[in-house]
Structure 1
């Protein structure tokens, strides 16, 4: 019998049934992480009127930090200066990324914000890969942004401040990609992430503390903030970490490229944010560009100067 070919890149044909089941489980975990992440963001938007976007960000990161510190219990006394530097830079990137992103979705629809933010890791991947084909993928993503602009001109315009904040979040997402990889190499276990969450909380605290304090006396708001911390931080991180043990990195990255689609879906279901034809086309172009950059980064090492980083999840 001729072995069946697997359509997913990085998976050899003729994979054993047990390995195939493991692969499918990994794919399900990545999709679950994307759903959890965007569902959590949609829940967070509903807290903005009471706490403000920065207050929600501070509360969400702070709660996630407390929970993960209790679980990981990092041995801080044994950390070197190099490890501390890496973790602090990781936490600063994370805090600025989350704060600007949440401030963005306070002003523009969730799907549009995620699509714009995706430009950060896309451009980073293309720059590090240094091939004309990678520039083509960035051009496709920029065409998607052009469609967003056209959609704003013809219909309901996107708040320019919200667009600018999404772009800022994309810049810090690129920084997150680089710093998280460094922490992963230098700090074992989840201790680096736990401390980085503390740093991220401190970074957004000056703007977010007043709103976050307002939730402490309201069990309903505090409960929703806890749900946001779990859905948008701890659950996706856990699922993605487990998925990476089951699926190749190219498959993982391509599946994460679906985040703009999930963002648009939950923005529509939970927030009543109708995307429209042009906005949906823009999201599709961003997904194609992200998948293209990932696939281009899979060429043999001898054919490229450096590997492009994957567009990893932005809210660990």
Structure 2
């Protein structure tokens, strides 16, 4: 399956899960939902991949743990941000992280033009939906910028993990490490899930849709393409998030978003010809 198609599947799963998560915020704090998502995803991936059967070096294990800490922090800050910002807006602003990666690691006119088009498209998708209160916007922006920095780290470290070891098996270790690092701070906030079997099922759905499916697919894509191309492909996610936000959360996009979607599509087309990542990318 072409990498852009994998990203569409990944985005629909990831932000479908985010839409379910938003519905849990009145029962479980956002940070608690984020941590429970990590825990359940880690358990699913550990049962599936059984990483203890794979030989590890100190370097590969360290890379997986670092990847997990960055991934977990990205998830926590993102969930806190979408308490204060619309889903499509939050994802679009978070795209600053991949833009920075593509700008620093890309080479040639195709990469530069693609990331420029993608960045403008994402700005158009983001800039018309900041309609919450001023205090909420400021806090939401601070949180989503932190998530953006983590997303940049996710691209760089995820690429290293994908090509240096079994990517999905490393993802299992990463998820477990991230959940453990955040456990002392957030475990108590996830306690309300124990009060209802329905909440347990909803959290499992969030973990599978927003973590297991998309991150496993992204590990597959990261083995095929360079960091710069992967960062441009991530522009599909704000567009997907806008669609999910409209359908599931009634956060309707404005007409100008169509221009943003066209620019994102053009950026994807520019990068679609190059399948094999350059050495050392």
Does TM, scored on the shorter chain, surpass 0.5? yes
Aligned to 1:191: 169
Paired residue for 1:284, among 240, 254, 261?
261
Aligned to 1:120: 97
Distance 1:166 1:293 in 2: 28
Aligned to 1:49: 26
Distance 1:299 1:234 in 2: 25
Paired residue for 2:183, among 205, 219, 228?
205
Aligned to 1:12: none
Aligned to 2:77: 100
Q: How does 1:148-297 map to 2 (within 5 A)?
A: 148-149=126-127, 152=130, 159-188=137-166, 190-240=168-218, 256-278=234-256, 280=257, 283-284=260-261, 287=264, 291=268, 294=271
Q: Which moved more, 1:224-233 or 1:268-277?
A: 268-277
- Shift of the alpha carbon at 1:80? 2.0
Q: Secondary structure at the match of 2:26?
A: helix
Q: Unpaired runs of 5+ in structure 1?
A: 1-21, 308-316
Contact map agreement 1:43 1:228 (CA 8 A) in 2: yes
TM-score computed with the length of structure 1 as normaliser: 0.73
Aligned to 1:36: 13
Contact map agreement 1:95 1:200 (CA 8 A) in 2: yes
Change (3 A) 1:306 1:138: farther
Distance 1:143 1:257 in 2: 8
Q: What is the RMSD computed on CA atoms of the aligned residues?
A: 3.7
Q: Which has the larger radius of gyration?
A: 1
Distance 1:150 1:77 in 2: 48
Contact map agreement 1:114 1:260 (CA 8 A) in 2: yes
Contact map agreement 1:144 1:281 (CA 8 A) in 2: no
Q: Which moved more, 1:83-92 or 1:230-239?
A: 230-239
Paired residue for 2:51, among 70, 74, 85?
74
Change (3 A) 1:97 1:248: closer
- Shift of the alpha carbon at 1:50? 1.4
Aligned to 2:41: 64
Contact map agreement 2:77 2:143 (CA 8 A) in 1: yes
TM-score computed with the length of structure 2 as normaliser: 0.81
Deviations 1:223-275 (A, max 9, x none): 10000011111223445566789x87899876653221221111111112122
Equivalenced residues, count: 277
Contact map agreement 1:110 1:263 (CA 8 A) in 2: yes
Q: Unpaired runs of 5+ in structure 2?
A: none
Deviations 1:24-72 (A, max 9, x none): xx76554322211111111111111211111011001100101111111
